Amino acid sequence: AGKDFGPPAVVLVRHKRKLRSRGWIPAFSTAAQSSAGEDCSSNDPPAEPGPLLAEEALEHKALRLQKEVRDLTERYQKALADSEHVRRRTQKFVEDAKIFGIQSFCKDLVEIADILEKAIKHGSGEAEPADQKTTLNKVFEGLSLLQAKLQSVFAKHGLQKMTPLGDKYDPYDHEIVCHIPADGVQPGTVTLVTQDGYKLHGRTIRPAQVGVAVETQE
């Protein structure tokens, strides 16, 4: 046989053909060659991540959760501090309201105290018999002014005087101190007032002491 010349790959193919023609190399079937090609070219399943990658993922997740816990803790502590601050301020307002709630009322009462003090000074001074009448008149005027001023202060602050003479007896506004025979009046009518009552903004703070007419039994 002559020598083959050409590229090595071509020479190798020619050499295999000669050997196959002489029966030295068994011929493979096309199906076998196709199967072999498929086996060689089949893709292997992707390799699963190793333990190191899984551990790193867990560490990242743990760090993220720790940061979220820190943020929530800081927000909770801030909200708690704000709530305590509001509670203290509210408590201070309530205490101030209890202490200074009657400040305006007391300021008005000071004016009445001034009038009463002047009336006492005029009444306590020594006067000649001829001037006693004048002094008594000044005292009376001072007391009348005092009463008018006092009622004005009461009305300003919602304090209302109750003089229930002739009214129907009301157990919420009146306190019975005696019974009086009903002569010409309906039984249950207030015919005597021994002490006036007072209401503050419509609420009775002191009931009036009254005598109520009752039917006489013959």
How confident is the model at residue 110, as a pLDDT?
82
Name the residue ranges covered by the structural domains of the chain: 103-214
Write down the H helix ranges in the chain. Answer: 8-21, 30-41, 51-100, 103-124, 132-156
Instruction: Kindly give the pairing relationship between strand 174-181 and strand 208-214.
Output: parallel
Mean pLDDT of 157-174: 92
More confident position, 44 or 158 = 158
Question: Is pLDDT above 70 for 57?
Answer: yes
How confident is the model at residue 115, as a pLDDT?
78
User: In 3-state terms, what secondary structure has residue 7?
Assistant: coil
Using pLDDT thresholds of 50, 70 and 90, give the confidence band for residue 167. Answer: very high
Using pLDDT thresholds of 50, 70 and 90, give the confidence band for residue 175. Answer: very high
Handedness of CA 4, 9, 14, 15 (dihedral sign): positive
Mean pLDDT of 102-131: 73
- Taking only the tens place, the pLDDT of each residue in 12-29 is 556 566 656 555 545 444
Write down the CATH superfamily of domain 103-214.
Head domain of nucleotide exchange factor GrpE (2.30.22.10)
Using pLDDT thresholds of 50, 70 and 90, give the confidence band for residue 36. Answer: very low
How confident is the model at residue 27, as a pLDDT?
47
Hey, how many other C-beta atoms are within 10 angstroms of the C-beta on 136? 13
Using pLDDT thresholds of 50, 70 and 90, give the confidence band for residue 76. Answer: very high
DSSP string covering 55-103 = HHHHHHHHHHHHHHHHHHHHHHHHHHHHHHHHHHHHHHHHHHHHHHTTH
The whole-model pTM stands at 0.50
Cα 213 to Cα 188: distance, rounded to the nearest angstrom: 5
Cα 197 to Cα 135: distance, rounded to the nearest angstrom: 32
